[in-house]
Structure 1
């Protein structure tokens, strides 16, 4: 339950009953009520948020409610967003198991993939997926220059190959995980996109890396193989592509943690990458 707070919002929004839910370096998130009593979210972006989160707003605009929350209004640094609900996909996983949660993730991702294009142009500020992987490419280059044939080098090579032959390039969420998929009045919807541009199998791949606190799932080769088969059948994509993105994403996360000198988390991420690599290697 949020804390009741005194907030000032645009008069034309006519919202009430503000409850502070969270504050982050990028935003202040408040739950409010619309004139008809429907809950909504006001996201007040900080200067960092204005720089980092607008591509995600444009991602939501492009989907217009198909599998994702709607942007109801924008004014200055304030976003009025559809309320997605309280129940997360992690809650569902804890109650019904991993495969049941994965099936819902497939449903949400399929809605996102099926958003009609209608020849609409992509927003110019969406982040190309190659730029998203800058940290991994830099780490791999450093290791290679030092004569280290590391997992970073292998993952960067796979990522480069995949990005050189993408399919169905479109706006990507960029951070698909169990706590960004919520259940509410319109069913399961995704929130908090990063706003990338690339092959949608990268969004599917991020699920292998989650939930973050379930290393027993993330580093399980059995789970990796099951999830990869599920996504391959659901999206009619080569299982090697899906596994390649999954391995690359886990290594990317490890490179971010390495930059932050959080070597314990980097190793946890690399364990996920190794599990994915093991399954990928078994297919050759």
Structure 2
């Protein structure tokens, strides 16, 4: 029997409600099914957040990774589609899957150290830019992967359902963010297949001193949007704006991005991220609140410098 940490159990219950409880009740049966179906032996799981992920050993001694997902919102199918489209280029390869049960068998990346373990933030940002460059590809024509335009509609729905704001997100903030989001989507020049959840914990060290991505959510949009989740993660307690600004400057230089669009996407997405946190856990996240303020501050400063120039 595999032990599931209490924090992970509570997250599954909080996010997935009755579906999550049913999944937890059937978890050991699901593990047994995987062991018999693929002739594998589960190892101790990795640090768990929203999905169960663990290394496993196959009958011939090969190492793989098993990911078990609570089905319900279509995220599993979208991740499968994204992995197929990326086809192992700059990302851990999908080996097998079973849609009906939410099971993925993935290539195990070795040595597999997380980018989050690096202490030098500039070095981490440069590595991340290289992973992004290797992964991004022109958007497929026909795909079930969600688009930035669908996310815009979801953003509009949030404001309709919360006309007076929600928690620390005021009515004025939601209106402003919605207007900015629409302005950005209407001026996108090129659409790419994006990772959709790029951050320090989703990039691992691989062979020959390279790094690859894992756990894509899959999103079709512009490149500037895909860097935002990285900017939101592993931030210090203070001087958040300085760290974000430094990271953006490196990414802009390495990837030829538009800094103003990164800042505006950052403001919108951090508001969206805070809403998701409130929706999932019932309380706001203080760091994300500081991030929202930081993006607005940095954009105002950029606008002033542009006018002075």
For 2:128 and 2:85, the matched residues in 1 are separated by 20
Asked whether 1:173 is paired with 2:186, we answer no
What is the DSSP-based 3-state SS (H/G/I as helix, E as strand, rest coil) of the residue aligned with 1:150? helix
Query: How many residue pairs get matched?
Result: 268
TM-score by length of 1: 0.80
Equivalent residues of 1:162, 1:241 under 8 A apart = yes
Q: Secondary structure at the match of 1:68?
A: coil
- Kept in 2: contact 1:231–1:242 (CA 8 A): no
The equivalent of 1:250 in structure 2 is: 270
- Does residue 88 in structure 1 map to residue 114 in structure 2? yes
Shift of 1:163: 1.1
Q: CA deviation digits over 1:211-270, x for unaligned, max 9? A: 2xx3436x62211221221121222121101111111111111222344574441x4312
1:61 CA displacement: 1.1
SS of the aligned residue for 1:48 comes to: coil
- Note the alpha carbon deviations across 1:139-171, whole angstroms, 9 max, x for none: 54567668x663333222221111112232122
1-side partners of 2:76 and 2:272: how far apart? 20
Equivalent-residue separation in structure 2 for 1:46 and 1:205 (angstroms): 26
Question: Is 1:131 the counterpart of 2:154 in the alignment?
Answer: no
CA gap of 1:153–1:28, structure 2 versus 1, over 3 A, is same
Whole-angstrom distance in 1 between the partners of 2:161 and 2:50: 31
In the alignment, is the contact (CA less than 8 A) between 1:20 and 1:29 conserved in 2?
no
Q: What's the counterpart of residue 16 of structure 1?
A: 40
Q: 1:273 aligns with which of 280, 292, 298?
A: 292
SS in 2 for 1:87: coil
The question of 1:236 aligning with 2:256 is answered yes
| Mapping for residues 192-271 of structure 1, pairs under 5 Å | 192-211=215-234, 214-216=235-237, 220-260=240-280, 262-265=282-285, 267-271=286-290
The residue aligned with 1:158 is: 180
Contact 2:181-2:265 within 8 A present in 1 as well = yes
CA distance in 1, matches of 2:135, 2:68: 25
Whole-angstrom distance in 2 between the partners of 1:27 and 1:91: 21
- Relative to the length of structure 2, the TM-score reads 0.74
Matches within 5 A, 1:51-130: 51-76=74-99, 77=101, 78-85=103-110, 86-92=112-118, 96-113=119-136, 115=137, 121-123=141-143, 125-130=144-149
List runs of 5+ in structure 1 lacking aligned partners: none
The separation in 1 between residues aligned to 2:277 and 2:52, in whole angstroms, is: 25
Judge conservation of contact 1:21–1:30 (CA < 8 Å) in 2: yes
**Secondary structure in structure 2 of the residue aligned to 1:72:** strand
Supply the distance in 1 between the matched residues of 2:186 and 2:142 (Cα, whole angstroms).
Answer: 20
3-state DSSP of counterpart to 2:88: coil
